[in-house]
Chains A and B, each alone.
Chain A
Amino acid sequence: MTEFLLNICHLDAYYGKSHILQGIDLQVRSGELVVVVGRNGMGKTTLLRSVLGLSPVQRRGEIVFNGLETVKKLTHEIASMGVGYVPQGRLLFPSLTVDEHMQFVCRNKKKESRWTPEEVYNLFPELRQRARVNGGRLSGGEQQMLAIGRALVTNPLLLMMDEPSEGLAQIVIKRVEQVCRHLVSEGMAILLVEQNLEMAQGLADRAFIFYNGRIAYEAPGDTFRREREKVGSFLGI
């Protein structure tokens, strides 16, 4: 069981009475980039929220992270185990500066680690010039970089990204792709939810397609890249 960093078994997730995710089985290994694609409202975001136990999602089933069962744990406990989260829409803190976004996360942790604000600035030099600017005043691309940086300074083992390409120019999307590749090459696991099929196909080590809260398709990255028609049919392309 421990060969998987994240092992989701028979996961059901609910928003109140609506049954969103139905019997999801999904695994992520260390250093692997797993992509989840699907049309709007198929439960992709709910999957990420379920892993972290963010309310109001109710979970039933098994979510084992790094060898430990997490369904009964609280969000901050799961995040501290090494789950980083880059939410859809970035959800930056408008009243905090770029620097504060990373400092307060960092300073709440004691140990020295790979990702410090300095390292994030090296990864995204444009953020360094904006260090004293409030999160809400950044451009879309800068916001996404900060959202990634904020998650990185928690030094996660698994980085969950929810539609990082949303609303970004092509050139910025390429940057995000490069960063993903770089992180995976360092051994980080990434669980990427995307609507941008090109980006998803470019990055996937393994891919899942969600349809109405179930897994409709699962394949290794190469097959996912090859089976364009089959993939397209699920996505309505």
Chain B
Amino acid sequence: MSLILLMSILNGLTLAALLFITASGLTLSFSLMRVVNLTHGAFYLAGGFVGLSVLKATESWIIAGLAGGLCMAALALFEERFLLRWARGNDLIETLVSLSIAIIIGDLILVIWGGYPKTIAIPQALGGAIKIPIINLPYPLYRIFMLGLAIVIIGGLWLFLKKTNFGITIRAGVDNFQMVSALGINVRRLFTSVFGLSGFLAGMAGVIGGTFMMLGIGEDWRILTLTLIVIIVGGMGSLGGTIVGALITGLIYSFATAFIPEFSLFVLFLPVAIILSIRPQGLFGKEV
């Protein structure tokens, strides 16, 4: 196999890992509350920049990742509790609210961190490259760490949704949230918490992504677009669908940029168009 082919596969997998971490939160809030949260990309970018500043102050990449996640969780909680809750049930208003906040956050980033693209330094322990056995190819250790982290998050989310009471309640809410409230469970609180969790995952993804790609204006919308593609392809509300959607999107993007960069967006949106016309609920989504 040619080197560029192998590299494209590996790069596709690591991009898929990042996209999964970003999309898993969005798919949860999307499927539960039926809100297309356009702020998600801004959470990603702002989380990355918060991580950048925290890393400078503390020199700990782990604290930076947590700080990026927690700050965005707080922002998401605020957005849901004080803005989106009043617009519940009105799709247009909800979408416009989330779009407005995304634009405001984007501008605030410009004011606080400036317009030059920045990158978070790879933590020392994860610097350098290792040789991947069998194919004998050197590959950045950090990207392999990212793959591992995504797998850990997949496992964690799976356990959370399957085994915890909160997770089961979320799954029930995705099926029919009115029925959940008719069983005496506070669905509003459920919505707010899931929105917070979604913000946390996006903010943390920003720190992870900002460490191997650049953080800069416009990156919020690029990540949002890719994340939406993942969800549309995989089907909303399905963890398995999000994994498959992230793999498809990551690999297509990676191959397209390596082999036919001028058509990369076209190739990326082709499966979206095909899936929307054949199976509008996505590969693993349920029919609504």
Contacts and interface: CB of A to CB of B under 8 A. Distances in A.
Chain B associates with chain A: yes
B184 interface: yes
Interface in A22-81: 52, 54-55, 74-76, 79-80
A104 interface: yes
B115 interface: no
A75 B184 CA distance: 7
A80 B186 CA distance: 10
Interface residues of B, number: 20
A90 to B, nearest CB: 10
A143 B179 CA distance: 15
Interface string A85-122: 10100010111100011011101110000000000000
Interface string B171-182: 110111011011
Contacts of A74: 181, 188
Nearest to A135: B175
B184 A80 contact: yes
B169 A55 contact: no
A106 B206 CA distance: 38
Contacts of A76: 181-187
Contact of A94 (B175, B178, B182): B175
B168 A54 contact: no
Nearest to B168: A104
A93 B165 contact: no
B56 interface: no
B175 A85 contact: no
Most buried by B among A80, A91, A104, A107: A104
Contact of B172 (A54, A80, A85, A96): A96
B1 to A, nearest CB: 40
Contacts of B168: 96, 100, 103-104
Nearest to A90: B179
B182 A96 contact: no
Given A100-B168, A105-B185, A108-B184, A94 B286 contact: yes
B123 interface: no
Contacts of A154: 183-184
Nearest to A76: B181
B171 A95 contact: yes
Contacts of B171: 93, 95-96, 100
A150 B186 CA distance: 16
A85 B176 CA distance: 14
A210 B179 CA distance: 25
13 contacts: A54-B178, A54-B182, A75-B181, A76-B181, A76-B185, A87-B179, A93-B179, A94-B175, A96-B171, A100-B168, A103-B168, A108-B165, A150-B183
> What are the 3 tightest A-B residue pairs by CB atom distance, in nearest-first order?
A79-B184, A80-B184, A93-B175
Given A94-B286, A151-B183, 8 more contacts: A54-B178, A74-B188, A85-B183, A91-B179, A94-B175, A95-B171, A100-B172, A108-B184
